[in-house]
Chain A
Amino acid sequence: MKQGSMQQFSEGPWFQQVKWISGFLFAALLWVIIYSNLDWCAGMLLHLSGISRANRFGEALYFFVYEVPKVLLLLTAVVFVMGVIHTFISAEHTRALLSGRRTGFGNIMAASLGIVTPFCSCSAVPLFIGFLQAGVPLGVTFSFLIAAPMINEVALALLFGMFGWKVALLYSSMGLAVAIVAGVVIGKLRMERYLEEWVQKLQERTVSSEVDSEPMSLTLRIQEGISHVRDIVGKVWLYIVIGVGLGAAIHGYVPENFMASLMGKSVWWSVPVAVLIGVPMYSNAAGILPVVQALLGKGAALGTVMAFMMSVIALSAPEMIILRKVLKPQLIAVFAGVVAAGIMLVGFVFNLVL
């Protein structure tokens, strides 16, 4: 609605649209060209600097100059796409879709929508109450609240970039499974009385979950995607550089199989320990994943690594403190316990099967 009234015909919406779409296509083409030639660029850069890949330093350096641009490019693409998707589905839309859904199907929907709905942990409380007020069941709300931070665009881009699409897919489907099952369990336990009293009172005052939204122009959607990139990539790029740097050091200097005795398959207690360390830890996926990936190369088992990543990303002490405003300690404990148990199960199953 911003344009149109303000601009002349020659600068009108149609012209704008063509301009932005061609700009987008050009950027996409450029992206593909750079992305498919990263290997060559990194090799060339190393060659020019006169450092050989044969020694440890050279190997670590190559890893760094290859991985950093690769991960940043992937991140930019995924975050942009997610930013555009966000213009199609708001928290209000999701709420309307989930209102009055039954346990089971509702949980599946909630967890899946958690991936694509814009979510910021700082608005977790209003979102939580808003969902309940509009008649979204407690367990379904939890499925959303677990999936939304766990399967986020940054984690997806990094998993895809550093671990490959199989691990990214495994992580997402296991994350969905944990969110769905944990939500169903919390729903079945009938924990409503463990909401803080003022929340229970608010819940009686139901609100409508109607959404009215105007159709958005493609130009605005592209602009939103760009602003999402600026927002997210601007915030996490430094973590990625530091994380990949640490990963490169591990990659080059830590001996093979160093982690086997600590995080290897045969060490059964490594999964629960990884989850226990990971749950209170607060780090975004950007900082933790490059390090974890390097450990994987040094003999750590995928299940253990996966459990660690999930617990770091999905649960954190600051989030618990935010949720404490609306949940009594018992419900917080059940929430953390159920999710942690689910993540451990994922870790054990992976170590057994793979």
Chain B
Amino acid sequence: MKKVKILGSGCAKCNQLLDAVKAVIAAEGIDASVEKVEDIQQIMAYNVISTPALVVDEQVLCKGRIPSYDELKELLTAKSQGCCGSHGTKSTAGGSSCCC
């Protein structure tokens, strides 16, 4: 099962991302748990400075924007680390543009 986290301090965009992710998971039947992280200290632990951010299995896949349905589907169903995986060990420091 995938552990999906939405990082964001409760703004409109963060809720949009949360809804979008839930919709994709429900529609595609993805086995995943979704958690919303609003605590700023926890958010900072991922070195994220533009919210909302999408974290799947502790990897930051997308920052500061809401990906389209198809992108989300791809990010949530990717085999392992998603598209930032090729950058190796820096698990929490993916570039914002790389995922999308």
User: In whole angstroms, how far apart are the Cα atoms of A2 and B72 in the complex?
Assistant: 11
Task: Decide: A208 and B97 in contact? CB cutoff 8 A.
Answer: no
Task: Decide: A91 and B50 in contact? CB cutoff 8 A.
Answer: yes
The residues in A between 112 and 155 inclusive whose CB is less than 8 angstroms from any CB of B are: 118, 120, 122-123, 125-127, 129-131, 133
The residues in B between 23 and 42 inclusive whose CB is less than 8 angstroms from any CB of A are: 40-41
A170 beta carbon closer than 8 Å to chain B: no
Given A126-B9, A130-B47 in contact, is the A1-B83 Cβ separation under 8 Å? yes
Task: Decide: B97 and A325 in contact? CB cutoff 8 A.
Answer: no
The residues in B between 12 and 70 inclusive whose CB is less than 8 angstroms from any CB of A are: 12-14, 40-41, 43-44, 47-51, 63-64, 70
Task: Decide: A325 and B40 in contact? CB cutoff 8 A.
Answer: yes
Residues of A within 8 A of B95 (CB): 90, 92, 211-214
The residues in A between 182 and 201 inclusive whose CB is less than 8 angstroms from any CB of B are: 198
A210 beta carbon closer than 8 Å to chain B: yes
A87 beta carbon closer than 8 Å to chain B: yes
Residues of A within 8 A of B100 (CB): 2, 220
Residues of A within 8 A of B90 (CB): 210, 212
Task: Decide: A122 and B12 in contact? CB cutoff 8 A.
Answer: yes
A70 beta carbon closer than 8 Å to chain B: no
Residues of B within 8 A of A118 (CB): 50, 64
Closest B residue to A87 by CB, please name it: B97
How far, in Å, is A207 (CB) from chain B's closest CB?
A: 5
Instruction: Mark each residue of chain A from 329 to 343: 1 if its CB lies under 8 Å from any CB of chain B, else 0.
Output: 000000000000000
User: In whole angstroms, how far apart are the Cα atoms of A2 and B82 in the complex?
Assistant: 11
Task: Decide: A122 and B40 in contact? CB cutoff 8 A.
Answer: no
Task: Decide: A2 and B44 in contact? CB cutoff 8 A.
Answer: no
B96 beta carbon closer than 8 Å to chain A: yes
A-contacting residues of B (Cβ < 8 Å)? Answer: 8-9, 11-14, 40-41, 43-44, 47-51, 63-64, 70-71, 74, 83, 87, 90, 93-98, 100
Besides A118-B50, A118-B64, A213-B96, 10 other CB < 8 A contacts? A87-B97, A91-B49, A92-B50, A120-B11, A127-B49, A130-B49, A133-B44, A202-B41, A202-B44, A212-B98
**9 interchain pairs (CB within 8 A)?**
A1-B98, A87-B97, A90-B50, A92-B95, A123-B51, A125-B9, A127-B49, A133-B47, A210-B93
